[in-house]
Amino acid sequence: MPEMLFHIRWPDGTTEQCYSPSLVIKDHLAVGATYDVAEFMRRSRLALTIASDRVREKYGFACSRAMAQLARLESSARRFDAAPAAGVTVTSFEE
């Protein structure tokens, strides 16, 4: 499966390099787009779950790295609970 990295900028300006075991992330996020935190997390949750499920279908086990990435995003997103409309920007994809 083709892995990829995607890079984001949180509302406070911090950047993060993120992992996906599948290119499916490109179906749910767009480079240059800014999503409010809740929408970014909804899209990321969906894409990373689909990606992990694809690994399960192919290899017989879920992708723990994708689930760890999702957990990191969930943790980071909690910093912005008081400002749910704040934007997360997807800055690049790396295949």
Tens digit of each residue's pLDDT (9 = 90 or more) over 50-71: 999 999 999 999 899 999 999 9
pLDDT at position 1:
66
Work out how many domains the chain is built from and give that number: 1
Mean per-residue pLDDT over the chain, rounded: 95
Q: Which residues contact 80 (CB under 8 A, 6 or more apart)?
A: 10, 11, 12, 37, 86
> At residue 84, does pLDDT exceed 80?
no
Tens digit of each residue's pLDDT (9 = 90 or more) over 31-46: 999 999 999 999 999 9
Please give the residue range of the domain that contains residue 17. 4-94
CA atoms within 13 A on the CB side of 80: 23
76, 80, 82 from 25: Cα distances, Å:
18, 22, 27
